[in-house]
Amino acid sequence: MARSSAIEGPPAAQAPAPPDERHDARLAAEQACALIAARRTILPRHLRSPGPDAEELRQILEAAGAAPDHGGRRPCRFVVVPQPARERLAGVFAQSLAERDPDATDAQLAQAREKAFRAPLLVLAVVRVADAAVEEIPAVERFISAGCAIQNALLVATALGYGSALTSGQALRSGALRALFGLQPWEEAACFISFGTPARRPRSVDRPELESFVSILD
């Protein structure tokens, strides 16, 4: 049985770290918590240029690569969608909509196409959900690893001053999108990640109280 309760720290260590080290560690933790709290979802239509440059993108993706990875299997990979490739992605979005809804209007198809061009920087996150090389690692662990990688990327983008968002949709499961990105049978497109400069100040977000999602096992 689990009970809801305030979280208590571990017993004091027998040999505590020197005061200066403890102060530095707590300061670093406060800075990390402030960065996490500052992250907001900024929808792609509210992202403007400039987006991250090549060096900043490298920082973002290197942070993603530092995520927990059971067995070192690299269950998640990222595909950057540069501007010259957006037209092909737009065609896939429109094709996917037309396949799902043969009665889609020209305006609806145009809106589907337009989604490919909204964010200055667009990246697709791909998860290896089944593969002989990782079959001993449960799929749920691969998704957890992918989520950690994505969160790392979002946090570094936030630290660099950029807004970001995760977007999905039925087009991710379309054959045309799988073909465009060269997805293998054991891979799934998890989501698109958009990065750019926020066009407006992010709204404040109410974070949940700790007791609403944390309990202690009795």
Q: Which residue has the tokens 């209007």?
A: 105
**The pLDDT value given to residue 124:** 98
Overall number of domains in the chain: 1
Tens-place pLDDT, residues 120-171: 999 999 998 876 555 677 778 888 999 999 999 999 999 999 999 999 999 9
- Whether residue 28 lies inside any domain: the answer is no
Q: How many CA atoms lie within 13 A of 182 on its CB side?
A: 5
In a domain, 217, yes or no: no
State pTM to two decimals: 0.85
* H or E element that contains 197: strand 187-198
Buried b / exposed e along 98-125 (16+ C-beta atoms within 10 A): eeeeeebeeeebeebbebbebbbbbbbb
Report pLDDT for 116.
Answer: 97
Does 35 map to a domain? no
Q: What is the pLDDT of residue 196?
A: 97
Structure tokens at 83: 């501007």
CATH number at residue 153: 3.40.109.10
Residue 103, C-beta contacts closer than 8 angstroms, at least 6 positions apart: none
161 domain residue, yes or no = yes
Q: What is the rounded (10 degree) CA torsion for 78, 80, 81, 83? A: 170
Is there a domain that residue 168 lies in? Answer: yes
Domain annotation covers residue 3: no
Alpha-helical regions (H) of the chain:
19-38, 54-64, 86-100, 106-114, 139-159, 175-181
Domain with 56 in it: 40-202
Read off the pLDDT of residues 37-95 as tens digits, 9 standing for 90 and up: 889 999 999 999 999 999 999 999 999 998 887 777 778 899 999 999 999 999 999 99
Q: What is the structure's pLDDT at 92?
A: 97
Most confident of 78-82, 128-132, 196-200, 206-210: 78-82
Question: 218 lies in a domain?
Answer: no
Q: Is the pLDDT of residue 104 over 80?
A: yes
Alpha-carbon distance of 76 to 188, in angstroms, equals 10
